[in-house]
Structure 1
Amino acid sequence: MAETIIGLCTSGTRLKVAVTAGGRIYQAQKKEYNQEKALFPLIKRELKKAGATLRSVNAVCAARGPGRFTGIRISLTLAGAMKALAGARVHTVTLFEILALQAFDCAPYKTWAAKNPGGRIAALLHAFKDEYFCQFFRPSARRPLPDGEPVWLKEGELKELLAAAGVFYAAGDSEEHPGIYALLPPGTAAAPGPVSKIIPGYIIKAALAYGSKTLKPLYLKPAKYELENKK
C-alpha cells in the first residue's frame, strides 16, 4: 500500500506544503507572515486532495533551514509532534540540498555537466540585508554531495568566494531574492527560473534522498545577531 508523506518548509516568506499519496503528488505554497496559523489549513487541504488525513500520514519531511529563526522551528516542531504522537517517521533536509538536487535533476544542468565534468554546484540563499548563505556540492551518480560546510557571508565576501571557486553551476533561490544571480562571476551558468526556488515536492524527494533524521535546526546565523539587527 502506498504511503502518505507530507513535506513542509517554513524557512522563508512562503509557506510550502507537499503531499504524496497513491503515487501522486499534491503541492501548494502561500506567502504568509504568520505561517503557524496557515500551516494546518494548507496541510489539510492538500491531504484532502489526496484522499488522506493527518492520521494516515506515515512520514513527515521537513526543511530544517537555514532561514528565519522562528520559521524553521514551525516545521520541525510539527514533525517532532507527528513522530511522538502518531509514530510518523521524520526525514529532514536543508534548503541547500533541495536547491542542489533540483538543479542536478534539470536538463540544462545535465547539458552543462557533460561539458564540465566534475564541476560543482553552488547553492545560494539570501540571509539578511547584504548577507548570504552558500554551500558547494560535488556531483555523484545519484545526487550532489556536500563539498564542505555551508557558510554565512557578507555580499563582498561571497563575491570573492565565488570568483575563486573555479567552474561551477549556480542554484539560487531567486523567488526569495530576485537579484541573487547578480552576485555570480560573469559567464557563470545558473539554474533556470522554474528550479530557482524551493519546489514543495522536492522537500520530500530531497529529504528521502539525503536520509537525515535530525530535528536540529540549521540556523547558521545566530538568532541574537538577527534580533539585534531588527531593532
Structure 2
Amino acid sequence: MLVLALDTSTPAVTAGVVRDGRELAVYTDTDGRKHGELLMPGVQAACREAGVTLKDLDAVVVGAGPGPFTGLRVGMVTAAALGDALGIPVHGVCSLDAIAATVVAAGTLTGNLLVATDARRREVYWAAYEAEGLRLTGPSVESPAALAERLPGLGLVAAAGTMVEQFGLPVRGPATPTPAGLVATADLAADRTAVPGPLEPLYLRRPDAVPPGERKAVS
C-alpha cells in the first residue's frame, strides 16, 4: 500500500512516501513560519525521490495535532484537498501518537514514555504511553511546571518531542512525527477497506481570534 504522510503540527514541515510501512522518501523543513509555502513542494519532492506520482497513491495520512492553529490547518487542508482530488481516503492521526510509534518501533523502551511538543504561550502539548505504544493519558496542554508535577506518578523512563529536555528524562528520537510513525498510527494494514472518519484537528484550546461583539449604540 502506497501512502503519503504529512504533518505540520510542529515547526517541522514533513512529507513522506511510505510503502507497506517502509519510508521510500522523506522531506523535512524546520521553518515553522512557512508551512503553507513549503508543504506542497515537499510533497512533490518526496514523490520524485520515491519515483511515484500522486496518482499512484492509495491513501493519505495526516497529523491532526495537537498543534498551533495556523500551522496545523495547513497540513490538514492540504491532505483533504489531495484526498478529494485523487479520490483516496484521508486518515487523521494524533501527532503525539506518531512520535511515540516511532520510538516504540525501535524496541528499546523498558517503561513508559513521555511525548511533549511546543504549544507556545509557555505551554506544552503532551501525552504518556506504555512501552508497547498504548496511550496512558492525554493529549493535554499545560505549563511545563504543571506537567513536571505529574511526572513522578507516570512511571516514565524516557521522553521524546521538541519540549522534553527540561524534564530530566533520557531523550529518544524523533522530536517530530515521521512518515512511518504517522502511517503506523493509522494502522492501515489492519483493515485496508476501513473508511476514515472526518478530519478533526486537535487544538486543545480555543483560538485567539473571536467574532467581534455587538457594537454599542452611540448616544
- Tell me by how many angstroms 1:11 deviates: 1.4
In structure 2, the partner of 1:96 is 96
C-alpha deviations, 1:65-124, integer Å up to 9, x for none?
Answer: 111201111111122222322211112211210121122122431xxx2xxxxx432222
Contact 2:63 2:75 in 1 (8 A): yes
Structure 2 equivalent of residue 29 of structure 1: 28
Normalised by the size of structure 2, how large is the TM-score?
Answer: 0.81
Structure 1 distance, partners of 2:129, 2:96, is: 9
Q: Give 1:139 deviation, angstroms.
A: 4.2
The offset of 1:59, in angstroms, is 0.6
- Structure 1 residue 155 and structure 2 residue 144: aligned? yes
CA distance in structure 2 between the aligned counterparts of 1:153 and 1:170, rounded to whole angstroms = 19
Q: What is the 5 A alignment of 1:1-231?
A: 3-21=1-19, 25-32=24-31, 33-109=33-109, 113=110, 119-140=111-132, 144-163=133-152, 165-174=153-162, 177=163, 180-184=164-168, 188=169, 190-192=170-172, 194-208=173-187, 213-224=197-208
What CA deviation, in whole Å up to 9, does each residue of 1:158-177 have, x standing for no partner?
A: 111113x2421333213xx4
TM-score, with normalisation over the residues of structure 1?
0.77
Aligned mates of 1:31, 1:52 — CA distance in 2:
24
Q: Secondary structure at the match of 2:187?
A: helix
CA distance in 1, matches of 2:25, 2:50: 7
Cα distance in 2 for residues equivalent to 1:196 and 1:10: 13
For structure 1, list consecutive stretches of 5 or more residues without a partner in the other structure: 114-118, 226-231
Percent sequence identity is 21
Q: 1:93 to 1:45 in 2, by over 3 A?
A: same
Partner SS for 1:223: coil
Distance of 2:19 and 2:103 partners within structure 1 = 25
Unpaired runs of at least 5, structure 2: 210-219
CA distance in structure 2 between the partners assigned to 1:50 and 1:155 by the alignment = 39
* 8 Å Cα contact 1:17/1:200 also seen in 2: yes
* Residue identity opposite 1:106 in structure 2: A
Moved over 3 A (4+): 21-24, 209-214
The Cα RMSD (Å) is 2.6
Which residue in 2 is equivalent to 1:229? none
1:108 to 1:87, Cα distance in 2 relative to 1, 3 A: same
TM-superposed CA distance for 1:219, in Å, is 0.6
Secondary structure in structure 1 of the residue aligned to 2:51: coil
Measured after TM superposition, the shift of residue 18 of structure 1 is: 0.5
